[in-house]
Amino acid sequence: MSVFGKADLARLRSFYPGQPGLLNHRLVGHELLTLEALVELGRQMPPASVEYNAGDLPIGVDPGAIGATGLSIEETIRGIEECGSWMVLKHVERVPAYAALLEAVLGEIAPVVEPATGEMLTHQGFIFISSPGAVTPFHMDPEHNILLQIRGRKTMNIFPGDASVVPDELHEAYHAGSHRNLPWRADFAALGVGFELAPGDAVHVPVKRPHWVRNGAEPSISFSITWRSHWSYQEADARGMNRLIRKWGLQPAAPAPFPRANAGKAYAYRAIRKARTLGRTA
């Protein structure tokens, strides 16, 4: 059984890679995406691949202010209806059954994605399990991403990716290791578009587009399929080069938007990074 129909692939083609948009999928009820299956998956994941968060977070929050929930993986998943938390199982492709599922889904969209952004690189899967009303704070991610809603409802609020929302310095700091969470201002609210997701819905989130999520009135399971492209890696390395240029007292231009390449700055930064690595190991 295919996960996406022909009409959904056509819709994806119409807005990929630069715009968010809704799709439908057929993974609801899949045996690997039930709560019981996710308890077992959690047991197989290394601790660094499981992130726990309280659910009653503000839209904008300093990551240093987020405390541990004190719950185990199994306690969080089995008690997700009342524990007031959200968690993410990261890089589920480490487990063979989930790797096969991820590859099957990405394989279906490859004929749409690869003509636009080239080879799909660094395939990764993330599973989110959220309590009723839980908030995932305002943040951005470096991957091309489609979030598939499996159980429950949530609203994905997606914002423009320009400097009025995320200044260039924050992009540069992010690629230097800063946390994904972003500062939030109340006036941003009017700039976002809310995508209402029910089981069987999916949303495409473009690279580095800031977003935040509010869960609905029942527990939620979502499956995020992600990949990188040569363009997304060039954008990241161009940001790294701009950070260096800014330290030199200059004001660099932001990386060019897709489909223009950022090869010059990216290759320069990669050369500097390689030279520094060789210098440390010499």
For the segment 212-255, what is each residue's pLDDT rounded down to a tens digit?
999 999 999 999 999 999 999 999 999 999 999 999 999 999 99
Average pLDDT taken over every residue of the chain: 92
Same domain, 241 and 111: no
What is the span of the domain harbouring residue 172? 6-228
Q: How many domains does the chain divide into?
A: 2
Task: Judge whether 140 lies within some domain.
Answer: yes
* Whether residue 282 has pLDDT greater than 70: no
Alpha helical stretches, state H, 33-161: 35-44, 73-78, 96-117
Taking the alpha carbons at both ends of the chain, their separation in whole angstroms is 54
Same domain, 244 and 116: no
Single-letter amino acid code for the residue at 172 = E
Cα 244 to Cα 70, 268, 275: the distances in Å are: 40, 11, 14
Identify the pLDDT of residue 66: 55
For the segment 22-75, what is each residue's pLDDT rounded down to a tens digit?
999 999 999 999 999 999 999 999 988 988 777 777 888 666 655 555 667 777
Q: Which CATH number goes with the domain that contains 94?
A: 2.60.120.650
Average pLDDT value for residue range 89-96:
97
